[in-house]
Amino acid sequence: MKANPSRIILLHGLIVASALIFGCGSASNNSSQMNQGTPSPGSNVQAISVNGGPAHNFVDGAFTTVTVCVPGSATNCQTISGILVDTGSFGLRILSSALSISLPAQNNSGGNPIAECAAFADGVTWGAVEMADVKISGETASSIPIQVIGSPSLPNIPSSCTAQGVPMDDLSSLAANGLLGVGASIADQEIYYACPAGGCAETTESVAEQVQNPVASFAKDNNGVIVELPAVTSAQTSINGSLIFGIGTQSNNGLGGVKVFGTNQNGDFRTTYMTTQYVSFLDSGSNGIYFLDAATTGLPRCSGTASFLYCPTSTQTIMVTNNAEPGTNGASAPVSFMIGNGLTLIGSGGNAAINDLGGPAPMPGGIFDFGLPFFFGRNVYTAIVGRSTPAGTGPYLAY
């Protein structure tokens, strides 16, 4: 899932159909830092699991648990599992069907409730903006705006929202109980609406009023995140890892020997394929590596319902060079990843963690969306805009 305020939030290649539970895989890339599935100790560590999610049909999605409370309350709280961890977007979004407590609405100066329309490649999330204390591991983001997807208080979705895609407002369409956007930006900068009784109309929100990246609002460990997942050398029914808050703020979140790449405020950098550079991003919310197109790569697309995947006759190793965003730190390093035959993977069935899923990018012009398979066997760092770290001020990514 990719957040980009200059366009829309994009969800690349979400695999949710029950028929698309994949199996079989091949060798994963190595990294200078490895996590073998045992969470690092500390109050800034949250367990994550690649396990198919609450709908039991999500391939290559990392899920976790969050607790939301009425602001200021220690008892009026709810812990919700099945939340997709997404380094490509910003902010917490929870299905109303998964939320059993009542949170206070965010209202404008006229007393009208605020709603948000967030657009994805697969559809849109529409719902009220509500206030919550968000607790994850030992960290708390106090009284921040979140989106409640499909909130019954605002059932009528404006046509300007549905024009961008089909609503994803329940478990069957979203395949998660919510989304935890922990990318490089502090707020999501999406489209907001004021909703008096007569209907909703677009409005503007200050950055502080927009749906917030919870990590940026933590009292400490608030300069970024690390996603740690073990290597996947053959398809697995599930794997466990960690979401670690902070970069260089505690003994368990140092940078070590990773390579740091400067990015723009949305987390974008550049990838060179052959001799051409393309916009790219690391996105744990995408379940494959989606890049370029069949004409450029020479990789055939799969047929039928799997046409969003590549189908080479044998697993291919793709060599590229990742480069920092122009005007940042100038970093550059080669990297490789694997692309297997999508139809073969689909045919095996039963697994949630597969390292060689990939397909053509769903956007014209060529991009590299390094989804969750790229995270296997790596510690992947995302530094937040304007926050100080031992490797300099964010935004940047590192692995």
pLDDT in tens, 269-308: 999 999 999 999 999 999 999 999 999 999 999 999 899 9
Q: Is residue 20 over pLDDT 50?
A: no
Residue 91 to residue 17: CA distance in whole angstroms: 25
Give the closest residue to 23 by CA, choosing from 353, 372, 351, 356. 351
CA–CA distance, 181 with 144 (Å, rounded to integer): 13
Instruction: Answer for the pair 126, 191: CB distance below 8 angstroms, yes or no.
Output: no
CA dist 399 to 30, 228, 261, 375, Å? 11, 10, 9, 9
Top pLDDT among 38 and 131 is at 131
Residue with tokens 């590549």: 310
The pLDDT of residue 40: 59
Average the pLDDT over each of 4-18, 97-111, 210-224 and give the range with the smallest value. Answer: 4-18
The domain locations on the chain are: 45-217, 249-398
Read off the tokens for 5. 């305020």
What is the pLDDT at residue 2? 53
pLDDT digits (tens, 9 = 90+) for 69-124: 999 999 999 999 999 999 999 999 999 999 999 999 999 999 999 999 998 777 89
- pTM exceeds 0.75: yes
Please provide the DSSP assignment of 293-310 as one string: -HHHH-PPBPPGGGTTSB
pLDDT score at 189: 87
CATH topology of domain 45-217: Cathepsin D, subunit A; domain 1 (2.40.70)
CATH 1.10.287 is right for the domain spanning 249-398: no
pLDDT at 270: 98
Task: Decide whether 45-217 matches 249-398 in CATH topology.
Answer: yes
**If pLDDT is split at 50, 70 and 90, which confidence band does 386 have?**
very high
Helix, strand, coil in percent for the chain, rounding step 5: 10, 40, 55
Residue 255: C-alpha distances to residues 95, 276, 295 (Å): 35, 30, 38
Name the residue among 186, 166, 174 with its Cα closest to residue 148: 174
- Residues 6 or more apart from 70 whose CB is under 8 A from it? 76, 77, 101, 102, 103, 104, 132, 133
The answer to whether the CB of 98 falls within 8 A of the CB of 85 is no
Report, in angstroms and rounded to the nearest whole number, the Rg of the chain calculated over CA atoms.
Answer: 20
Helix (H, G, I), strand (E, B) or coil at 68: strand
User: Using 50, 70 and 90 to split pLDDT, how confident is the model at 364?
Assistant: confident
The better pLDDT of the pair 45, 119 is held by: 45
Q: Amino acid letter at 330?
A: G
